[in-house]
Amino acid sequence: MDLTKIQDPSFLKDLSINELEQLSADIRDFLINVTSRTGGHIGPNLGVVELTVALHKVFNSPNDKFIWDVGHQSYVHKILTGRTNQFETLKKYKGLSGFPKRNESEHDVWETGHSSTSLSAAMGMAVARDLKGTDEYILPIIGDGALTGGMALEALNHIGHEKTDMIVILNDNEMSIAPNVGALHNILGKLRTAGKYQWAKDELEYILKKIPAVGGKLAAAAERIKDSMKYLLVTGVFFEELGYTYLGPVDGHNYEDLIENLLYAKKTKGPVLVHVITKKGKGYHPAESDRIGTWHGPGPYKIESGDFIKPASAPPAWSKVISETVRKIAREDKRVVAITPAMTVGSKLEGFGEEFPERLFDVGIAEQHAVTMAAGLATQGMKPFLAIYSTFLQRGYDQVVHDVCRQNLNVFFGIDRAGLVGADGETHQGVFDISFMRHVPNMVLMMPKDENEGQHMVYTAVKYDHGPIALRYPRGNGLGVTMDEDLKEIPIGSWEVLREGTDIAILTFGTTIPMAIEAADRLQEEGLSVKVVNARFIKPFDEGLLRGLLDQDMPILTIEEAMLQGGFGSAILEYANDHGYYQSKIDRIGIPDQFIEHGSVNELLEEIDLTVEATVTRAKLILNKKQQRA
């Protein structure tokens, strides 16, 4: 079938099972083909082809609401809702988003990127429906990984209590990004192998109804038998006890099974949970056989061999440098343990886990728990290293404030993917952490200029025993600098002058340092002398150095790949104001008050004027203003 002709999912209503199967094959071919060029979440999407088609056949989107948890598995939904033509631009600048987007289609009723929000959103939509008196179906579609998130469990609890009408589709492929973890995962395992529960229960009720009624006693006994039979039929009745009608396990690659169960769910009152078993990567061997998570969301690849297309040689990834340094130190320092909220592979902690299996904890998609667990470890004299993406640390904000900082505990935060991350877009940019970390008392916040300084910062953080300390590092690879053999401590709060100058000072850190140096070169060609400072400690900062600049009345330009509001530049302005430097010329370059969409990091930097050219222009502007003032 020509997928580009699809306008909306209504055509599915007339298709036979055979035709649906042919359509699935066409969708898989298309997905493999296009993502081999664009990259993207191929594994999760190959796993939900039949499920998505069946949902669109049985229900009527957009009147019925499909709420994709995480949203990375919404490609098939995008194809069926008329967006096939845009796939060549997947995750590219101004192109098709890798996640549901309300401005892309009326079928995208809920935007995501972060996990475990679908059930709460569904509850809100269901309550609105009931208050308004309409009758649409509400369908959150959540993976077994996302179900480990605390927020999902909070909503599951509430929905079961309220007995709200909704159909929860649990897409169970036994994988989060890597194999899923946790006790709940084990319960699902038992359900998977227990056979069809609801059908068996219905048959049992039918038999019991045939027993002649001979008075109340027998009826009560029959009820009791029914209840205990429940426990015989399935080893765990977790969802039933929570208040849901459990349907499953359903073969998520079999249309008959899927459609039959979805139709049954449709006529069932109250919350229903349809337990659908799928295979991540279904239909493409390299992705199907992946047990680590490399096919969860890879870049471009060669279809025949399944080899990823990567530059021949690249400096080591930032995550690898940081996690491997923690591993090295852990050999000597037995206090060191590592925690990851479901990102072992992304945070490059596999090596640590191999060497210290009893000291690595994958806690599932549970950022809040991860932060407070780290705090608990620290109370007992351990040195927890919590590797967490900047964007996902947002989930653990109260835990950072209330549990870690307030008690001033020695937790070492590795804030991975700090700064713009590019293709994953708005939901994943790591641009808020400075604003929500630097204002919390006791927190130390730093970012290295290169991976050599990065390894010394890891050492500094492990040695630091005066409270929480956070090390930000970006997505992608280091600069390829020479690494020192011996690790050393960097004095907390110290900045480093990278280049002397007398006309203006640029204060910056991390990824924007090369930009500042290049701008300084250009300005020098125009006869201006620029001092460039590696402001590697964002908090506490080098007050001595800063005060020196302010005392000399040196104009200051701050640059940060992070939100301007509440950011590093704000800290400098606050300092100047609080210390009476009211006349100082201070200007800031950073991310304006807006969400930054997907695209390559360079395109995004251009869009927001975080470039060498902008730095040169702004520096000259400050100098002009200063001359005018003089």
Torsion of Cα atoms, 228 then 234 then 236 then 242, to 10°: -70
- Return the number of the residue (342 or 405) whose C-beta is nearest ligand TPP: 342
As a three-state string, the secondary structure of 40-93 is CCHHHHHHCHHHHHHHHHHCCCCCCEEEECCCCCCHHHHHHCCCHHHHHHCCCC
Size of interface with ligand TPP, in residues (CB under 6 A): 23
Sign of the CA dihedral running 199, 200, 201, 207: positive
When binding is defined by CB under 6 A, the residue of 9, 39, 44, 422 that contacts ligand TPP is 44
Is position 91 an interface residue for ligand TPP (rule: CB under 6 A)?
no
Residue type, 245: T
Q: Which is nearer to ligand TPP, 41 or 327 (CB)?
A: 41
Least Å from the CB of residue 143 to ligand TPP: 2
C-alpha to C-alpha distance for 300 and 36, rounded to whole angstroms? 5
* CA separation, residue 511 to residues 120, 449, 471, 561 (Å): 37, 7, 14, 7
* Whole-number Cα distances in Å, 162 to 99, 111, 113, 117, 244: 30, 25, 27, 18, 11
Q: According to CB under 6 A, which one of 28, 395, 449, 536 is a site residue for ligand TPP?
A: 395
Only one residue has tokens 């992705």, namely 287
The SS3 of residue 158 is: helix
**Site residues for ligand TPP, window 130-189 (CB under 6 A)?**
143-146, 171, 173, 175-177
CB of 347 to ligand TPP, least distance (A): 11
* Site residues (CB under 6 A) for ligand TPP, limited to 113-132: 114-115
Annotated catalytic residues are 280, 367, 395
Helix axes 451-463, 318-332, angle to 10 degrees: 40
Determine which residue in the list 365, 423, 447, 515 makes contact with ligand TPP, applying CB under 6 A.
365
Shortest Cβ 182–ligand TPP spacing (Å):
11
Helix, coil or strand: residue 580? coil
By C-beta, is 172 or 403 nearer to ligand TPP? 172
Q: What is the DSSP secondary-structure string of 468-488?
A: -EEEE--SSB---PPPPSS--
Q: Of residues 28, 57, 72, 91, which one binds ligand TPP by CB under 6 A?
A: 72
- In the complex with ligand TPP, the residue whose CB is nearer, 149 or 569, is 149
Helices (H), 304-438: 318-332, 350-355, 367-379, 390-393, 397-398, 433-437
Residue 94, φ and ψ in degrees, nearest 5:
65, 10
Q: Are 442 and 408 in contact (CB under 8 A)?
A: yes
6, 27, 54, 70: which one contacts ligand TPP (CB under 6 A)?
70
| Shortest distance (Å) from residue 561 CB to ligand TPP | 21
CB of 428 to ligand TPP, least distance (A): 8
Q: Taking contact as CB under 6 A, which single stretch among the options 70-78, 257-265, 398-406, 538-546 is the one that binds ligand TPP? A: 70-78
The answer to the question of residue 348 lying near ligand TPP (CB under 6 A) is no
Question: Which stretches of 503-583 are DSSP H helices?
Answer: 513-525, 543-551, 568-578
Residue 223 CB, shortest distance to ligand TPP, in Å, is: 37
Region for residue 82 given its phi and psi (left: phi exceeds 0; alpha: psi -120 to 50; beta: otherwise): left
CB 66 within 8 A of CB 141: yes
Q: How far is the CB of 73 from ligand TPP (least distance, A)?
A: 5
Binding mask 262-281 for ligand TPP (x = CB under 6 A): ------------------x-
Burial 448-461 (b: 16+ CB within 10 A, else e): bbbbbbbbbbbbbb
Which residue number, 145 or 501, has a Cβ lying nearer to ligand TPP? 145
Minimum CB distance to ligand TPP, residue 131 (Å): 29
Span interacting with ligand TPP, options 69-77, 211-219, 230-238, 251-259, rule CB under 6 A: 69-77
Q: Which of residues 292-321 bind ligand TPP (CB under 6 A)?
A: 296
Please give the C-alpha separations between residue 239 and each of 102, 117, 242, 272, 508, in angstroms, as whole numbers. Answer: 31, 19, 5, 9, 52
Is the Cβ of residue 44 or residue 501 nearer to ligand TPP in the bound state? 44
Query: Which residue, 180 or 512, has its beta carbon nearer to ligand TPP?
Result: 180
**What is the contact surface with ligand TPP in residues (CB under 6 A)?**
44, 47, 70, 72-73, 114-115, 143-146, 171, 173, 175-177, 280, 296, 342, 365, 367, 392, 395
